[in-house]
A and B are shown apart, each in its own frame.
Chain A
Amino acid sequence: MIVTRSWLNEFIDLTKVSNEKLYETFNSIGLEVDSITQIEIASKVVIGKIISCEKHPDADKLNVCQIDVGSGKRQIVCGAANVVDAEYVAVATIGAVLPGDFVIKHAKLRGVESEGMVCASSELGLPDTGKGIMILDESIGELVVGRELSSYEKIADTIIELELTANRGDCLSIYGVARDLSAALDIEMKPFEYKQEEKIKLGIAREAELRHSGEMDADLHYKLATIENISSNFLVQLRLAMVGVEAEGKLASMLAYATHTTGVILRAYDSRTFRNSENKISVHPVAKMKGVIEVLGNEKVLSVVGVNQEAEATANDETKELLIEASYINPDTLVEAVSVTSLKTDDLYYKTSRGANPDLYFGLSFLASMMDSDTDISCYEGSLNVSVEREHETVIVDAKEIASIIGMDVEIGKIVTILQKLGFEINSMGHDVIAAVVPLFRHDIKHIQDISEEIVRIIGINNIEAKPFVFAEKPRLNDTTDRYRAKKEFKNRAVGVSFYENVSYVFSERALLDKYGFSTVDEALELANPIAEELNTLRSTILVNLLNAVKRNVSYSKKSIPLFEMGAVFGSKREQNEVISFVFSGQVEGENVRNAGKPKMIDFASFTQKVGAVIGAFELVPCTYNNGLIHPYQSANIIVDGKVCGFISKLHPTVQESFGIPETFIAELDFDAFLPTHINATPISKFQGVYKDLSVVIDKSLNYYEVAKVLNALELSMLKDAYPVDIYEDDKLGDKKSLTVRFFIQSMEKTLEDSDIETVMGQIMMALKTECKAELR
C-alpha cells in the first residue's frame, strides 16, 4: 500500500508531524515502512501561464510560446504536442538545475530564442503522469503565476510505501491508514461531508430496477448518472502515478482514485448496453454459491462481485450513461469460493480478498463529490441498494485481562480512547470492563487477544517494560536433548579427523537415485510440486549430494575433500531416518614438507581409520549392500554391537569417472545404531599375559572375517584378543596366502605356564586346520 503525505492530510492534519515521526509511528503500529521518498522539486521551477502558442517557423514539431512566469513574459520553445491544450504549466526558468544536473540556460532552437523549458513530470523527478508536458490545474492548489512549484505540498509530496500484513485489509486505503494514524498520533480525523448537487431531479427508480436472488453475502449500492463531458484533474493523474496505480482513461482514473482513497470497491457499467426490452436498466445480482455473486444486466453477466468484471459492459470515457456500483463482500467466504472455483480475478481482488471498506455510502459520496467538481456528470437522485444484515462482533474487554496479556497495566480510559479512534463502538459493562463492538472493516478482530494487539501496537511495544518470566522448576532433559548432544559429539569428532560438515537439501533427483540403485519414495507418495527436476524427490541417501559437493570442490581446485553430513533420508513409504554419511576424495592429507608435497591418495585403511575415530569400535564384514556407488571388492558392512549399521566402500570407478573426481571413499551409517549405550565394565586380570604370533597358510579367497568367526566360536576364556598383523602372498604360495595373527593370552586366576599357552595355541591351530583348512607355515 502506497500513501502520500498530502493525500493523508485530507483526512488527518499532519502539518505538525515530521516525516521522521511518521516513519517511526508507522513502524511502531505495525504498518511497516518499506520506503519513504521525499519529492524534491528544483528551485526556479515556477507556475507559468501560456499567453500565446504558435508554430515554430522552421520546425513542424516545435511550438513557440509566450509564457507569463510572474517576473515577466518569456519566450519558450516547446516540443511537446499537448502544449497547445495547456494554460498553466510548470516552467523551468533560466538557472534552474533539474535532476541529472541539467542546467536550464538561454538557448536558440532552430533560430528562435528560448528562455526556459516547459516541463514534463519526469523531467522534474516526479512519477510519469503520461505523455507530454504537465497541464496544471487548481487541483494542486491555487495557481499563482510565478510561484515556485516546490511550494505546492501536493506536488513536493512524500511518498510512503507500507508493507501490510495479511490481516490489515482495512489499511488498503488512504482513509484507513489515516484512521490508524489518528489513533496512534491522537489527532482527530477531519470529517468528510458531502452534499450532493442534485443536477437531475429524477429518481433512479424511474430508469433502473434492482432485484436479487439467492442468499446474498454482499452489499451492493447502485447510482445512475449521465455524462456530457468527462475530464480528469491533474492531481488525480499525479497521485495515481505516485502510488503506482494504473488506470486507462479518465473515468477509470477517477474510479481508481476514489477506491484508493476510500477503500470502497467501485465499478462502472455502460448501462445502455443492457437496457431491457422495456428500456429499463435491470440489475439482477444472483448468488450462485456461497461467496460467488454474479451481477446480471438484462440477464447478461456484468461482473462477479469482488472478483472480476466483463469488458463488454464496462464503462469508458465514451460512455454516456453510467451505472456506478459500490460493493462489499465478506472476504472469508469470497476467498474460499475463489480458491474452489478458480475464477479469474482482476486487480481489485487483492482488496476484496483482504476485506474492502464496507462503508459503501462513503465510497459513492466521495466519487460523486469528485464528479461534481470536475466533470459534467449528473447523478440521478438516490440509489438502489442490496444490504445484508451483518452482525457486529462484540468483544468483552476486561482491563485486568489486557494487563495480564501485555504484562503491563493499561487504564480502561486509555483502552476506550484507542478503540474508539480505531472505529470501535464502546459500551460500559461496569468497573474496568467494556463491550467493544468491532467495526465491519476489522473482520480480523474476534477475541480479547486481538484487542490486546490493537492496544499494544498503539501504545507501542517498545513502551512495554520487559519482565522475566517466573516459573516453577522442572527438569526438562529429554530424549531429543540427549540425542542432540550425541549428534554434536559425533560431529565434533568428525571435525577432529579433518571432515567438513556439509548441509544439503533433503531433496534429490529421482532418476539419479534410480540409476544408482537407491530406493525411491512410492509414486503415490511422491512430491506433487517439486521446484526443479534435480530436486524432484526426497533423498534416500546423502551420498549423491555429497558427491555433487565433491565435484564442485574439485572444480574449485581442492585436492583433498573430506565431507560429512548428518541428516534425514526417506524410505519408500516416506519414513524418515537419520544417517551420517562420509566422503573422502583425493589426497589423504594436505601437501606439506613431511610428504614432500605428494601426499598419498585416500585408501581403504586410512578412510576406515577416520570413520572409526568418529563412530568408535566396529567390525567390518563383507558388504551385503547393493547400490551403484559401491565397489564390489573394496566394501564392507559396518557392524556395531553385532548389528549392521551401514557400509563403507571405495567409490565405484565408473561413478568416480562420471562425477569427474579423484579416488573417493564413501560410508553411510544409520545414526540410531551407534547412539551411546550403557556400558558395564568387566574385571581386569591381575596376572601377566603373553602375546603369541601364529602364521598360517590359507586359501587366498578366504577373508579374515571367516578366520575370526572360527576363533570367536572357540570361546576360549584365556584368549583375550586376536587380530591380524600381516598378510603375505607370493608366486610360491600360488592361490594360497600366509596370514599372521597375534594373540593375547591371559588368565584371570593364575600366572600362565608354558603348558597353558601351548594348550590354547594348540586348540587354535586345531580349529583353524579343520574349519579353514589352514596349515602351519
Chain B
Amino acid sequence: MENLEEKIVQADSLETLEKVRVELFGKKGVLAAEFAKMKDVPGPEKKAFAEGLNKSKASLQASFDARYEVLKSEEIEKVLKSEAIDVSLYGTLAQKGALHPVMETMDKIIDYFVALNFAVESGPMVEDDFHNFEALNLPKYHPARDMQDTFYFKDGGLLRTHTSPVQIRTMMETKPPIRMIAPGTVFRRDYDLTHTPMFHQVEGLVVDDKGKVSFANLKSILIDFLQYMFGDVEVRFRPSFFPFTEPSAEVDISCIFCEGEGCRVCSHTGWLEVLGCGIVDPNVFKAVGYEDVSGYAFGLGVERFAMLMHKIPDLRSLFEGDIRLLEQFR
C-alpha cells in the first residue's frame, strides 16, 4: 500500500496518472483485489478489515485527486504557454481613417445648435444677385461688395460669397418664428497664404416678434457657444459693420495660444477674431416681406475655427487631401 501512494505522487503526467488510476481503482486493480480478499477474512475480523481497506481507499483517492489537480493545471499552463505571442507586434494593425478636421469642426458646431433646437437649413451654391446681395441690404455698387470678391457666371449667376442667402431663402419659404443655422460651402475670388477660393461657413438666424429678440440675447448664446468650442476663454464684442445687420459686432476670444499675453498668432493683441454678428437690418426683413419682427444673425468661418482649435498652421493644406495631416485626426 505504501508503495501505491508513492506511485500516485511520482506520476509526472496525466497519462502516467491515468495508468496508476487503472492499476489502483480499476476493475482488476489492486484495490479490487484487496476487497476480493474480504470473503476469506473470518467473520469477527471482517468489520475491522473492511474499515481499514476503506480508509486506505479514501486516502489513496484524496492523493489521486490532489495529484490530478496539479497535473491538470500544469497541462493547461503548457497549452497556454504554447499559444504565447508578442502582442506588441500588432499595435499597428488598426485600419481606421479619419474625418476631415474642418468637417469634424462643422459637425461639432452643428451639434451645439441642434441641441439648442436650431433647424439645419441649406441652399444652392450657385446663387443669384438678389439672394446673395440685394436682399441682404447690399445694393449694386455698395462699397461693402468690395469686401467679398465674387465669382460670376457668364449668365449673371454667381457662387455664393457667404451662407447668408440661405437665411433669405428660409425666410421667404417659411414664417417666423425661425431658429436656424445654415452650414455650407462658400466662395471668394481670393487665393493666397491666408485665403482659399472656397471655404466653409456656418450662419445662424433667429427671428421672432418685434421687440422679442435683442442684442443681449445674441451675446448670451455666442458667449456660451464660444466657450463650448474653445473652453474657458474670455469673449469680447467690438462694434463693426455688416450691411445685413445693425447694430453689428465682431467677436473676439482671448488668445488660446498665449492666454492673452500676446503672441504671433494674435498679432500680439491677446485676442483672436472669430465671429461676426448683429441684429438683423430692417432692410433685410423688408426684402423678404416680413413686418413687425426682430431677429439676430451671426456667421463664422469653419476653417478658422478648425485651425485655431487644432493648431493647424497652414490653411491651404486643408484642401490638399494630405494624409500626413489627416492621419493625425484618427
Q: Chain A residues in contact with chain B, CB under 8 A?
A: 27-30, 32, 165-168, 332, 335-336, 339, 353-354, 401, 404-408, 447-450, 452-453, 456-457, 461-462, 464-469, 471-474, 476-478, 480-481, 483-484, 488, 491-492, 494-507, 523-532, 535, 538, 545-546, 548-550, 552-553, 556, 558, 561-564, 567-568, 570, 574, 576, 589-590, 592-594
Contacts and interface: CB of A to CB of B under 8 A. Distances in A.
A503 B215 contact: no
Given A469-B213, A527-B152, A461 B249 contact: yes
A538 B198 CA distance: 12
A497 B246 contact: no
Given A553-B321, A574-B153, A491 B239 contact: no
Interface of B: 89-90, 92-93, 95-100, 102-103, 107, 110, 114, 117-122, 124-126, 140-144, 146-147, 151-155, 157, 177, 179-180, 183, 185, 189-191, 196-198, 206, 208, 210-217, 219-221, 223, 236-241, 246-250, 279, 281-282, 294, 318-324, 326-327
Given A449-B282, A530-B151, A568-B185, A466 B223 contact: yes
Given A501-B326, A553-B322, A495 B98 contact: yes
Contact of B216 (A28, A408, A532, A567): A408
Contacts of A488: 107
Interface centre among B120, B121, B190, B321 (most CB of A within 10 A): B321
A507 B294 CA distance: 38
Which 7 residue pairs of A and B lie closest in terms of their CB atoms, listed nearest first?
A407-B216, A549-B321, A407-B214, A30-B239, A165-B241, A457-B239, A453-B247
A464 B247 CA distance: 13
Nearest to B180: A476
A28 B217 contact: no
A593 B86 CA distance: 11
Contacts of B89: 592-593
B282 A447 contact: yes
A462 B237 contact: yes
14 contacts: A32-B250, A407-B217, A408-B214, A447-B282, A474-B177, A481-B120, A484-B183, A504-B321, A531-B151, A546-B321, A553-B321, A563-B323, A564-B97, A576-B126
Contacts of A546: 321
Given A165-B241, A335-B143, A456-B239, 12 more contacts: A32-B238, A32-B240, A166-B142, A167-B241, A406-B215, A408-B214, A469-B208, A471-B177, A506-B125, A552-B321, A553-B321, A576-B126
Contacts, number: 262
Contact of B141 (A339, A448, A468): A339
Nearest to A505: B198
B146 A166 contact: yes
A594 B238 CA distance: 59
A496 B92 CA distance: 15
A113 to B, nearest CB: 45
Instruction: Give chain B's interface secondary structure class.
Output: mixed
B219 A466 contact: yes
A354 B143 contact: yes
B247 A457 contact: yes
| A166, A401, A448, A473, most chain B CB atoms within 10 A | A166
A459 to B, nearest CB: 10
A217 to B, nearest CB: 15
B92 A568 contact: no
Contacts of B220: 466-469
A464 B216 contact: yes
Contact of B93 (A335, A505, A529, A592): A592
B157 A525 contact: yes
B247 A449 contact: yes
A501 B330 CA distance: 11
A498 B238 CA distance: 44
Contacts of B110: 484
Nearest to B102: A503
A524 B155 CA distance: 7
B219 A507 contact: no
Contacts of A167: 144, 241
Contacts of A452: 215, 246-247, 279
Contacts of B155: 524-525
B295 to A, nearest CB: 10
Contacts of B197: 505, 507, 531, 535
A22 to B, nearest CB: 14
Contacts of B321: 500, 502-504, 545-546, 548-550, 552-553, 563
B154 A525 contact: yes
Contacts of B210: 404
A101 B240 CA distance: 41
Contact of A500 (B97, B216, B319): B97
A336 B98 contact: no
Nearest to A551: B321
A504 B198 CA distance: 9
Contacts of B217: 407, 466-469
A27 B238 contact: yes
Contact of A468 (B144, B221, B246, B320): B221
Contacts of B122: 480, 483
A406 B216 contact: yes
Contact of B318 (A408, A483, A503, A567): A503
A498 B241 CA distance: 45
A81 B121 CA distance: 71
A501 B151 CA distance: 26
Contacts of A27: 238
Contacts of A590: 92-93, 95
Nearest to B178: A476
Nearest to B236: A462
A481 B118 CA distance: 10
B96 to A, nearest CB: 6
A456 B247 contact: yes
Given A501-B103, A503-B318, A592-B90, A526 B213 contact: no
A476 B118 contact: yes
Most-contacted residue by chain A among B107, B119, B141, B241 (CB, 10 A) = B141
Contacts of A407: 214-217, 219
Nearest to B103: A501
A524 B190 CA distance: 24
A449 B93 contact: no
A500 B323 contact: yes
Contact of A478 (B119, B190, B327): B119
Contacts of A471: 177, 179, 206, 208
A64 to B, nearest CB: 46
B214 A405 contact: yes
Contacts of B214: 404-408, 467
Contact of A506 (B102, B185, B190, B211): B185
